[in-house]
A = this chain, B = another copy of it.
């Protein structure tokens, strides 16, 4: 085999893949309210300050702070309330020394006021609240107290989101608060998925003896969709070099990325290597990753687009797609790192053996106990899809540890 067919640790393998990827996919402009889960294509700046007027954070009275100086229960300050600052309209009242205005939470405070006294620190003199009326203030306020200043949330021109930011509900809120009603985001990468294998039939078909239904197309499609990609299924290609080559070339040309679920026998894997090698430069980058399950993964790039040859075994295919396909989809959207995923720490219920120099992933169930989360390995041969169905996540046995002992705390990556 040529020298580039090395078995690399996952981290180095990913770095090698990323080195060869083309720049991010192009951006497209979408309404901000539909941009949940999309990734910003460029940095965004505030077109205005937020808030753009001084707002009260309390229900109470807008005052000149000076007028409350030294006020206490025993020695209240007396102020005349001369007006009300209405919600949603300019606060035009002009306060002279000794005067105050009724304000509501979120309302604008008059230009001549510089603080707000919360209603609970006041008392209406005589109990009569028709304007104008007199109040006692029993607690002093400092200048700016209970007031949101102009630009206190965001200053005009400030960078509000960097490029490559994955948009969450609060980000949409933040953009809309500034009137940013459209946003340029990375186009969702189209991920072509091909299955091969003479034994594989579509899920709707009853398999004959020796046949199995295609599941990798659908598990990979689900993973691609969760990462923000658009899965495009090309069905099951016969174990025939010309057919696979033609289908792979077409699928890659029509999409941003290609995943081939490569059949399980050695001959089919070898054929997949040849096909990927022929798709374009640089072709196959590596064949084999130092993990269990999933060693025989083929990682390649053609014309800047990632191409993966995944094991036919459904468990390995999922884990390997998670290791290379999912980060590549994020990278194509311009995300420097996948969003921080649900990683929990849990205590192992029993010993787990491994080999140094290999990263092992063991499906585990998580059980809440009074001592914290317990990780219970779901055993079974690595090609049993129901080991993953029964599991809540994957326990990682680090590269250079020869296993983990019962009672040890370990990292579990949630599904």
Contacts of A213 in B (CB 8 A): 176-179
7 pairs across A/B with beta carbons < 8 Å?
A87-B198, A88-B208, A90-B210, A172-B219, A172-B222, A179-B206, A342-B342
Q: Say yes or no for A343: interface residue by CB 8 A criterion.
A: yes
List 17 additional contacts besides A174-B385, A177-B215, A340-B342; criterion CB under 8 Å: A33-B221, A85-B210, A87-B239, A90-B209, A105-B264, A106-B264, A107-B265, A108-B209, A169-B223, A169-B318, A170-B219, A170-B385, A172-B222, A173-B222, A173-B388, A176-B215, A179-B206
- Neighbour of A210 across the interface among B50, B91, B389, CB < 8 A: B91
Whether the pair B265, A105 counts as a contact (CB closer than 8 A) is yes
Whether the pair B198, A88 counts as a contact (CB closer than 8 A) is yes
Whether the pair A209, B89 counts as a contact (CB closer than 8 A) is yes
Q: Say yes or no for A68: interface residue by CB 8 A criterion.
A: no
Contacts of A414 in B (CB 8 A): 340, 342
- What 1/0 mask marks residues of chain A from 309 to 350 whose CB sits below 8 Å from any chain B CB? 000111000100000000000000000000011111100000
Contacts of A179 in B (CB 8 A): 203-204, 206, 213
With A and B bound together, what is the CA distance between A218 and B171 in angstroms?
10
- What 1/0 mask marks residues of chain A from 99 to 126 whose CB sits below 8 Å from any chain B CB? 0000011111000000000000000000
- Closest beta carbon of chain B to A295's beta carbon, Å: 13
Q: Say yes or no for A237: interface residue by CB 8 A criterion.
A: no
Contacts of A181 in B (CB 8 A): 203-204
With A and B bound together, what is the CA distance between A210 and B57 in angstroms?
13
Chain A interface SS verdict (over half): loop
For residues 17 through 42 of chain A, which have their beta carbon under 8 Å from a beta carbon of chain B? 32-33, 36
Contacts of A152 in B (CB 8 A): 380-381, 384
Whether the pair B206, A169 counts as a contact (CB closer than 8 A) is no
Task: List the B residue with the shortest CB-CB distance to A383.
Answer: B57
Contacts of A312 in B (CB 8 A): 105-106
Q: From A134-142, A153-161, A272-280, A297-305, give the one contacting chain B.
A: A153-161
- What 1/0 mask marks residues of chain A from 71 to 113 whose CB sits below 8 Å from any chain B CB? 0000000000000011111110000000000001111100000
Q: Say yes or no for A59: interface residue by CB 8 A criterion.
A: yes
Q: Say yes or no for A364: interface residue by CB 8 A criterion.
A: no
Whether the pair A106, B203 counts as a contact (CB closer than 8 A) is no
